[in-house]
Amino acid sequence: MRRQIVLGALLVFGALSLTVAALQQPPAPSAAGLEVEKLTDNLYVLKALTNGGGGNTSVFITANGVTVVDTKNPGWGQPLLEKIKTITNNPVTMIINTHTHGDHVSGNVEFPATVDVVSHENTKANMAAMRPPSFTAPPAGGPAPNIFAAHQGHNLPKRTFKDKLTIGAGADRIDLYYFGPAHTNGDAMVFFPSARVLHMADVFANKGLPGMDANNGGTGIGYAATLTKAANWADSANVEKIVNGHNAATTTRAELREFISYIQDFVKAVQDGKKAGKSVDETASAWKTPAKYAGYEAAPVPVRVRANVDLIYKETK
Ligand SMILES: [Zn+2]
């Protein structure tokens, strides 16, 4: 009897700890945890249904193979490969990494070594180091280990570019652009001309305050100017849809222009705070999203606001 009670208590306690763990940790990576959005017959976006999956992944099917843009958090490489098999029988032949952050590159280590890996030249250098972003709180238990160091450099970038790189031709063509530093100093924008889709990743992650990563060459005061170059180019190329780093849906060029003015307003408010002699903390806690930005996150994560304010203070002479 007593033993049964103890056993029962242990079971209840076990179930409780499982529940607590489930609340604290995102669900294990699985193909079932990925949602497929079809943009055209040969271009798809694979999104993690829950927080913890990582950035959006574009999947572009060409005659010779499949190109994957960004590979999400650790553990999501195999689920991505599994999910891609439900879309096409063509093998994955190329990964393009938009920038160095762990939620966009970590799945690389689960792809075969035969895959070509392409990034901006600064992103290749950043990925060798995998410095944590400046705008997120360090995880409990210390910074995540360098996933590429732990995998003998498996699927670090093999091919890089500086300003522009064209891969393939005709319907299979992909154009990579670098318009300058913003989220990091190696933000590649990936254009699929046949679909008129531009994968911008975390330079325009969602309708909210972007990370301005001081640890990886990002900028606050130059952010809007880089985005304006991209937006002017997108107008000339008649881009129809933008794949954002973390947004649930694609966005438009009009939404990109609105995002640029949101960033300009943020930077101006921060610089005004500095001019008025306010401390970084005072300026960070005073900032809130102006009401005219409908659909934007009302209160960005404080650690991100503070890190961005700190960078803009340092950049403003
Ligand atoms: Zn990022």
Average pLDDT of the residues of the chain = 92
Angle between helices 302-315 and 253-275 (to 10 degrees): 70
Report pLDDT digits (tens) over 30-82: 999 999 999 999 999 999 987 789 999 999 999 989 999 999 999 999 999 99
Is residue 253 a contact partner of residue 239, using CB atoms and an 8 Å limit? yes
What is the distance between the alpha carbons of residues 54 and 186, in angstroms, rounded to a whole number? Answer: 18
Q: Where are the domains of the chain?
A: 28-315
Spatial CA neighbour of 198 closest among 180, 213, 176: 176
Distance between Cα 213 and ligand 1 center (Å): 8
Distance between Cα 140 and ligand 1 center (Å): 20
Q: Count the residues in the chain.
A: 317
Q: Under DSSP, is residue 212 helix (H, G, I), strand (E, B) or coil?
A: coil
- Global confidence as pTM: 0.91
Is residue 179 a contact partner of residue 193, using CB atoms and an 8 Å limit? no
Distance between Cα 55 and ligand 1 center (Å): 8
Residue 47: which H helix or E strand, with range?
strand 43-48
Distance between Cα 312 and ligand 1 center (Å): 18
pLDDT top residue among 21 and 315: 315
Given a cut of 50, is residue 7 above it in pLDDT?
no
Distance between Cα 139 and ligand 1 center (Å): 16
Spatial CA neighbour of 187 closest among 222, 150, 151: 222
Distance between Cα 5 and ligand 1 center (Å): 50
Name the one residue in this structure whose structure tokens are 């100017």. 225
Given a cut of 90, is residue 263 above it in pLDDT?
yes
Distance between Cα 183 and ligand 1 center (Å): 7
Distance between Cα 218 and ligand 1 center (Å): 10
For the domain made up of 28-315, give the CATH fold.
Metallo-beta-lactamase; Chain A (3.60.15)
Torsion of CA 53, 54, 55, 57, to 10 degrees: -40
For residue 205, the one-letter residue type is A
Report pLDDT digits (tens) over 72-115: 999 999 999 999 999 999 999 999 999 999 999 999 999 999 99
What is the distance between the alpha carbons of residues 231 and 250, in angstroms, rounded to a whole number? Answer: 15
Distance between Cα 101 and ligand 1 center (Å): 5
Is residue 165 a contact partner of residue 172, using CB atoms and an 8 Å limit? no
Distance between Cα 294 and ligand 1 center (Å): 23
- Give 103's Cβ-side CA count (13 Å radius): 16
* pLDDT of amino acid 190: 98
Distance between Cα 33 and ligand 1 center (Å): 21
Distance between Cα 293 and ligand 1 center (Å): 22
What is the distance between the alpha carbons of residues 71 and 88, in angstroms, rounded to a whole number? Answer: 17
Distance between Cα 298 and ligand 1 center (Å): 20
* pLDDT of amino acid 11: 46
Contacts 24+ apart (CB under 8 A), 255-262: 255/207, 256/200, 256/204, 256/227, 256/230, 256/231, 257/231, 258/293, 259/204, 259/207, 259/227, 260/224, 260/227, 260/228, 260/231, 262/207, 262/289, 262/290, 262/293, 262/296
* pLDDT of amino acid 139: 79
Distance between Cα 121 and ligand 1 center (Å): 16
Distance between Cα 26 and ligand 1 center (Å): 19
Report CA-CA distances (Å) from 11 to 18, 21, 50, 235. Answer: 10, 15, 28, 61
Confidence of residue 138 (pLDDT cuts 50, 70, 90): confident
Distance between Cα 290 and ligand 1 center (Å): 24
Percent share of the chain, pLDDT over 70: 92
Distance between Cα 7 and ligand 1 center (Å): 46
What is the distance between the alpha carbons of residues 231 and 242, in angstroms, rounded to a whole number? Answer: 11
Q: Under DSSP, is residue 1 helix (H, G, I), strand (E, B) or coil?
A: coil
Distance between Cα 184 and ligand 1 center (Å): 8
What is the distance between the alpha carbons of residues 157 and 73, in angstroms, rounded to a whole number? Answer: 17
As given in the structure block, the two tokens for residue 21 are 């763990």
Distance between Cα 237 and ligand 1 center (Å): 25
Distance between Cα 115 and ligand 1 center (Å): 22
Is residue 260 a contact partner of residue 242, using CB atoms and an 8 Å limit? no
